[in-house]
Structure 1
Amino acid sequence: MNASQDLSQASLERQIDRVIQGLTELRHDGRFHEPNLDGSAGDYVSFDSWEWPQGVGLYGVVRLWQRSGDDALRQLLEGWYERQLERGLPPLNVNTTAPMLALSVLWAETREARWKAVLDGWADQLMATLPRTRSGGFQHDVSDKINDDELWDDTLFMVALFLAHYGRAAGREALVEEANLQFLLHTHYLSERESGLWFHGWTFDGHHNFARARWARGNSWISAGLLDFLDMADLPPALERYFTWVLRAQMETLIDYQCPSGAWRTLIDDPTAYEEMSATAAFGYAFLKGARLGYGNARWAQAGQRALAAVVSNIGADGQLANVSYGTRMGHTLDFYREIPLHPTAYGQSMALLCLVEALEH
């Protein structure tokens, strides 16, 4: 950590305010505006759009609101959902489920009836219609592409966390059980036994892990997601012990690949890949939270502090987190991941938020 870098509580709170401003001011510039399967224009950058980057971004905001109780954050969240519902929700898929997690957290805190019908309707449709692979795992279909018989590590953060959280909050045990199953299935097919790291995806068409990419952001969906899953799901003791082991196996290996800057590369084990900040922020959050909750030791806290310093050094004057790789499809070669362009995104902002807010606990 740079000794001149101010990571005091007051400084962290100023950074948090800037990151929220950077999140809400995100607008697409036309470079990444691919059409969805239903013919609509896909906007994966602008804050005021219903997609997975925005859903992850809202999760960072709602977790901050839970901690601070700031009414302005509640108004920001409620205003966003009100606008989206007035426009009409998009077709359901893995990625468009992501905004439901923050809404579930909002409803669990406020118990406002207007959100309950939306959450129940989406959960019911998800359970009944979301395509599954032959294993029963959710097929990673997204707004602009069907991915036949494929499992991706992103799915756990986008779908399973919502089922776990809302299932518990609403007393719907079937949703919680489904989340448990999805975490088990994805662990079986995507976790590398030798290292504890995770591959980006698995296909039943040929039975392989594509490029066997140990992709940083995919792994960060798992480290951050597993910690929140353990925190929110009220797991049976055997599952809790199992997923604690899965988490620790991954995290202990990640420490070995942390760069001198405190960051991780977009391909974790590839020294030629660029350093990537959305994954670094999520790993920082996971190491700090894992140490606080007793899953890890002082090494975890130190790794988290180094990651935090790297994140802070990449927050610009506009509040946007730099060096964030854009949304990443399934790669069939490792060069595919090395060449993903950099662009500020809502999930980058969210992961920075989660890391900064967790740092306030330390």
Structure 2
Amino acid sequence: MTQLRRQACQIAAERVVSFMLRGRPGDWGMDIDRWDWNPGVGLIAILEYYEAARKPEILSELTVWIERNKHQSQHHKVINSMAPFTVFPRLYELTGDLYYRDKAIDIGNWVLTEAPKTREGALEHTVTEPEQFAEQVWADTIFMAVLFLARLARVSGDPKYGDEALRQLQLHIELLQDDNTGVLFHGWNCGSGDHMSAARWGRANAWIALATPMIVQELQGMPVIPDTLMERYSRLLQGLLAYQADNGLWPVVVDRPEYRCEVSGSAGIAAGFMKAAKLGWVGDNYRSAAELTLMRLLEHIDEQGNVGGVSGGTPVLATEAAYNEFEIRSTQYGQGLALLLLAEYLN
């Protein structure tokens, strides 16, 4: 990576973080002071950026955010609201504050023993909004809750969290993977036994493409990672590489080249490519593909640090076309996925 490109990534990352932390109170997309998945993805990314940049003020921003918002965590115990807890195990290591460890263990036990599961044993995707998606498995769950379990397993040394993280990762990929293309459907309905709209949504693929190497790294030396899981993950990346557009991005539904390209899912997929390449799981062609995504991403970040071209938060929509028609808006998770890719080039 050239020094000039690294400088561009550093400037972009600083702008993205600044835009995230300013937030927009009352705006669902950019309100950072909510205990939910949207700001949670942002926090995970900010921690990743801290690991790359090692700026003390970034760590301080994270601890101040938690102190300011932790009272909200008592009001929601659903899969989506697990996302902010993902930073707790590492914050315990960085600060030595027992609050982070003890709270993470409490929440980890809730996921293991009380969180609703489908008839197939997968975590049912539950949300803070007054809606229920009974018996539904979403790719989102892996990033929002299972990554947390893996991090807790490593820091606590308790294998039960790692065993469940691995089990959930395997189940989700098995239930969501399209055998023909290797890529993932957004969701699976255990009750009806189908993928609902059967949309191979870009951001769904990003959640698992990115979370899998992060989870496996956390679980080193704990449960043995099955070859079948790695084979499925390899097929996922192969399928995604085949669908990358010439401009370096992916369509909002990855196998629909006529649909618009979407920035957050593209950034997440590319960050997954980079993590897999660094682990030696894939060749340099994936690194090159991710670098092409990075160049397009930089074009979508304005001088204020706002990441453009991000589609709104969606449940499993009724049709593939609905994903293409969904609103474009600024979001904490869009900022976060962009920051995760930038951090890969700064680490």
TM-score, normalised to structure 2, is: 0.94
Cα distance in 2 for partners of 1:119, 1:291 equals 30
Deviation at 1:105, TM superposition (A): 2.0
Determine if the alignment matches structure 1 residue 60 to structure 2 residue 60: no
Distance apart, 1:350 and its partner CA: 1.0
Query: Residues 44 and 51 of structure 1 are in contact (CA less than 8 Å); yes or no, is this contact kept in structure 2?
Result: no
- 1:181 equivalenced with 2:167 (yes/no): yes
Equivalent residue number for residue 356 of structure 1: 342
1:13 aligns with 2:10: yes
Asked if structure 1 preserves the Cα contact closer than 8 Å seen for 2:243 and 2:255, the reply is yes
CA distance in 2, matches of 1:111, 1:192: 43
Which range is displaced more, 121-130 or 333-342? 121-130
Distance 1:288 1:343 in 2: 26
1:157 pairs with one of 143, 161, 172 = 143
Following the alignment from structure 2 to structure 1, what is the Cα–Cα distance between the partners of residues 59 and 229? 32
User: Among residues 44, 68, 75, which one is paired with 1:90 in the alignment?
Assistant: 75
Q: Is 1:27 the equivalent of 2:36? A: no
Q: Contact 1:26/1:345 (CA < 8 Å) preserved in 2?
A: no
After TM superposition, give the deviation of residue 127 of structure 1 in Å: 2.0
Matched with 1:110 is 95
Determine if contact 1:44/1:52 at 8 Å carries over to the other structure.
no
Q: CA offset at residue 28 of structure 1?
A: 5.6
Q: d(CA) in 1 for partners of 2:73 and 2:85? A: 14
Q: Which of structure 1's runs of 4+ aligned residues deviate more than 4 A?
A: 235-238
- CA deviations over 1:245-295 (Å, ceiling 9, x no partner): 222111112112111211111000112211100011111211222222211
Matched, 1:278 2:264: yes
Q: Which moved more, 1:197-206 or 1:84-93?
A: 84-93
Identity %: 27
8 Å contact kept, 1:167–1:176: yes
Query: What RMSD in Å do the two structures reach over aligned CA positions?
Result: 1.8
Q: Is 1:204–2:190 an aligned residue pair? A: yes
1:258 equivalent in alignment to 2:244: yes
Q: How many residues align?
A: 345
- Cα deviation, 1:142-196, whole Å, max 9, x if unaligned, reads 1112111111111111111100111121112111111111111112211112211
SS in 2 for 1:67: helix
Tell me what 1:33 maps to: none
Unpaired runs of 5+ in structure 2? Answer: none
SS in 2 for 1:344: coil
* Unaligned residue ranges in structure 1 (runs of 5+): 31-42
**CA 1:153–1:10: 2 relative to 1, 3 Å:** same
- Measure, in 1, the Cα distance between the counterparts of 2:136 and 2:336: 26
Residue type at the aligned position of 1:123: G
Match of 2:309 in 1: 323
In structure 2, C-alpha distance between the alignment counterparts of 1:274 and 1:290, rounded to whole Å: 26
TM-score w.r.t. the length of structure 1 is 0.91
Could you tell me which residue of structure 2 aligns to residue 141 of structure 1? Answer: 126
> 1:305 is matched with which residue?
291
Task: Map residues 332-343 of structure 1 onto 2, 5 A cutoff.
Answer: 332-343=318-329
Q: In structure 2, what residue type is equivalent to 1:317? A: E
Q: 1:235–1:266: structure 2 CA closer, same or farther, 3 Å change rule?
A: farther
